[in-house]
Amino acid sequence: MSAQTSPVAGAFRTAVVPAAGLGTRFLPTTKAVPKELLPVVDTPGIELVAAEAAEAGAQRLLVVASPGKESVAGYFRNDDELEQTLEDRGKHALLAKVRRAPGLLAVDSVYQHDPRGLGHAVAQAGPALADDEQAVAVLLPDDLVLGPDGTDAGVLGRMAQVHAELGGSVLCAFDVPRDQVPAYGVFEVSDTADEDVKQVHGMVEKPAPEDAPSTLAAAGRYLLDRAIFDALERITPGAGGELQLTDAVALLISEGHPVHVVVHRGDRHDLGNPGGFARAFVDFALRDPEYGEGLRRWLTDRLKD
Ligand code: UTP
């Protein structure tokens, strides 16, 4: 682990993963399988996100689940019988894979009974925090944040450092081409002494390219001061009756709460829709020691036509 990504002691202990959405873009599969458990090659997206949180110093993953999606948190429980069978058969590499998720960090869950938006999902985590937890991380499991070389990003660790230096809340952004800004929430920012850290003054959802205040697009990583839970109680639902997390962040900014953004110079994948998921799957499979080479040959051949 590089010095840049070292966990900052005490910045946060709990990483909240909202996983109570309907996953409509993955229907009909999500009738039976939560999209968080779909495998990127052989590993569910939620395990990749949990590993990122653990790497940044999180001690606990708090899954916000809907009734019926208990299997998401359940995935992190040890399966003693399976582990014993693999042990007996000498399948040590598989055994290590099976034991990785339960060994990453403690996992708890809270319920969001109706999918009333991301803000509402995050609000359900508030009562599950200990009194001394002043900040909490939120990681959207749809978003895979990768380093420039496609491996571990360390962005959450960097966000924890910025939180330790500047206080308040810290978000994550990607610098996207201007013609792509209509797909994102875009930050209005001013510079700080650090080129990759900006102070946030506001956020515009899906702006037209000519109206966008910057080309810094929000990614699904947040390190939020505990004040967010109070703000979530004071905002009103927006379109579709959903409570938006960004509205609560905007309220905090308007009240003088410091919010900064770390501009992440790496890659990302959106696992929330089949097209983005396919890219992530291919990207990870191309780097897989077992399947990578064969897939590359097959793809090259396929793309000739
Ligand atoms: P999305 O809107 O991208 O996910 O929310 P979704 O609602 O599950 O998917 P679609 O749009 O129907 O295909 C981003 C994240 O926030 C969670 C989702 O589970 C996802 O991880 N979320 C969203 C909640 O936990 N609760 C909500 O009410 C809404």
Pocket test for ligand 1, best of 35, 113, 140 (most atoms within 8 A of CB): 140
Verify whether ligand 1 is closer than 6 Å to residue 36 (CB atom): no
Ligand 1 near 27 CB (within 6 A): no
Strands in 147-248 per DSSP E: 169-175, 185-191, 197-205, 216-225
Per-chain mean pLDDT for the chain:
93
Average pLDDT over residues 28-37: 96
pTM of the model: 0.94
Structure confidence at residue 152 (pLDDT): 66
Over residues 41-68, the mean pLDDT reads: 96
Distance CA 120, CA 169 (A): 18
Burial of 266 (0-12, 13-18, 19+ CB in 10 A): middle
18 C-beta closer than 6 A to ligand 1: yes
pLDDT for 2 equals: 42
The CB of 151 under 6 Å from ligand 1? The reply is no
Segment 105-110 mean pLDDT: 97
Q: How far apart are CA 147 and CA 152, in angstroms?
A: 5
Q: What is the pLDDT of residue 9?
A: 62
Q: Ligand 1 centroid to 30 CA: how many Å?
A: 12
Q: Is 125 in the pocket of ligand 1 (CB under 6 A)?
A: no
